[in-house]
């Protein structure tokens, strides 16, 4: 059963261009809404270590996903695999690439490759199913992962997978180190990964890094990138490109979902609404 996706304006601000080598901050004007955010931590405000190197020019995604826009009342979130229909070579999440995704979504109807379904009213438990098994309606959806989320944005989220999973062989824990951090880390097959926003003030563009070494020898390799339109702090969803030679696509999608939900929780916490159901 195909699912048509309602289109919205898909023109988030362009991702900053980074040279391979030392990480650099991009200047952002002081009138940005996030500039006065009293919850930003010193971790978010500090410049990256000059010893940290990023291998960005080697990033060559193999898959393009669309995460349907969703917010606090979403009972299910659809994740589409647009890869077979993308014909424009990837040179970055440029306006041209985003226009191509917009046209692709308009020209085709899709069954979601993954469905993230809320299990309770408080939006703290989810099951993830693969709808590739239900196109003909001959058999029920297969649960391929479960997601337990904390009450507040500083808590620990757990992704678990069946014993026979082809995506991941162990649970994945995501937890930021201090309340207010926007950077989330997790370990996959003994290798650290980091989800980090591309600039201090912009939550619309994020990158997933695979980390090698530590200290002065630390090197980060880009393995996924995400971009979305600014819908405010309560709605998230957009384009995710993944190099599946470096990280499993489902793992990239679900860890991103955790990061996005924590972002919505922080918005609720700033507004005095607490965490929990602050963002579906």
Q: Is residue 254 a contact partner of residue 215, using CB atoms and an 8 Å limit?
A: no
Q: Does 86 map to a domain?
A: yes
Q: Does 8 map to a domain?
A: no
* Entry pTM: 0.76
Q: Does 14 map to a domain?
A: no
Q: Is residue 197 a contact partner of residue 188, using CB atoms and an 8 Å limit?
A: no
Q: Does 9 map to a domain?
A: no
Residue where the block lists tokens 């993308």:
86
Residue 10 has what pLDDT? Answer: 43
Per the structure, the count of domains in the chain is: 1
Residue 203 has what pLDDT? Answer: 73
**Residues of the chain below pLDDT 50:** 1-48, 133-136, 279-280
Count Cβ atoms within 10 A of the Cβ of residue 175 and give its class: 0-12 exposed, 13-18 middle, 19 or more buried. Answer: middle
Residue 2 has what pLDDT? Answer: 43
Q: Does 130 map to a domain?
A: yes
Going by their DSSP bridges, the two strands 53-55 and 219-227 should be labelled as parallel
Residue 280 has what pLDDT? Answer: 47
Q: Does 118 map to a domain?
A: yes
Q: Would you state the structure tokens that stand for residue 81, as one six-digit string?
A: 């695999």
Q: Which domain holds residue 217?
A: 51-270
* H or E element that contains 268: helix 249-270
Q: Does 6 map to a domain?
A: no
CA–CA separation, 74 and 186 (whole Å): 25
Residue 205 has what pLDDT? Answer: 93
DSSP for 69-83 reads -B-TT-SEEEEEE-G
Q: Does 224 map to a domain?
A: yes
CA–CA separation, 253 and 242 (whole Å): 9
Residue 43 has what pLDDT? Answer: 32
Q: Would you state the structure tokens that stand for residue 38, as one six-digit string?
A: 């009293």
CA–CA separation, 249 and 246 (whole Å): 9
Residue 145 has what pLDDT? Answer: 97
**How long, in residues, is the chain?**
280
Q: Would you state the structure tokens that stand for residue 133, as one six-digit string?
A: 């098994």
């Amino acid at each position: 059963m195909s699912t048509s996706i309602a289109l919205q304006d898909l023109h988030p601000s362009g991702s900053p261009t980074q040279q391979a080598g030392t990480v650099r901050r991009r200047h952002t004007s002081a009138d940005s809404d996030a500039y006065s955010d009293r919850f930003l931590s010193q971790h978010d405000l500090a410049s990256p270590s000059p010893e940290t190197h990023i291998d960005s020019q080697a990033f060559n995604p193999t898959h393009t996903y669309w995460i349907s826009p969703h917010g606090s009342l979403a009972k299910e979130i659809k994740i589409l695999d647009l890869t077979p229909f993308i014909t424009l070579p990837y040179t970055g999440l440029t306006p041209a690439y985003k226009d191509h995704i917009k046209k692709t979504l308009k020209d085709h109807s899709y069954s979601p490759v993954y469905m993230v379904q809320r299990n309770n009213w408080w939006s703290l438990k989810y099951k993830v199913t693969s709808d590739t098994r239900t196109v003909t309606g001959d058999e029920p959806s297969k649960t391929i992962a479960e997601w337990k989320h904390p009450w507040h944005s500083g808590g620990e989220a757990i992704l678990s997978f069946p014993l026979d999973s082809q995506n991941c062989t162990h649970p994945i824990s995501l937890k930021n180190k201090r309340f207010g951090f926007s950077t989330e880390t997790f370990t996959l097959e003994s290798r650290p990964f980091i989800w980090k926003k591309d600039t201090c003030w912009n939550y619309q563009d994020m990158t997933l890094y695979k980390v090698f070494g530590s200290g002065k020898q630390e090197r980060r390799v880009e393995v996924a990138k995400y971009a979305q339109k600014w819908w405010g702090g309560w709605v998230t969803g957009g384009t995710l490109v993944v190099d599946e030679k470096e990280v499993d696509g489902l793992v990239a999608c679900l860890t991103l979902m955790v990061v996005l939900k924590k972002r919505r929780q922080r918005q609720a916490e700033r507004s005095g609404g607490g965490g929990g159901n602050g963002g579906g």
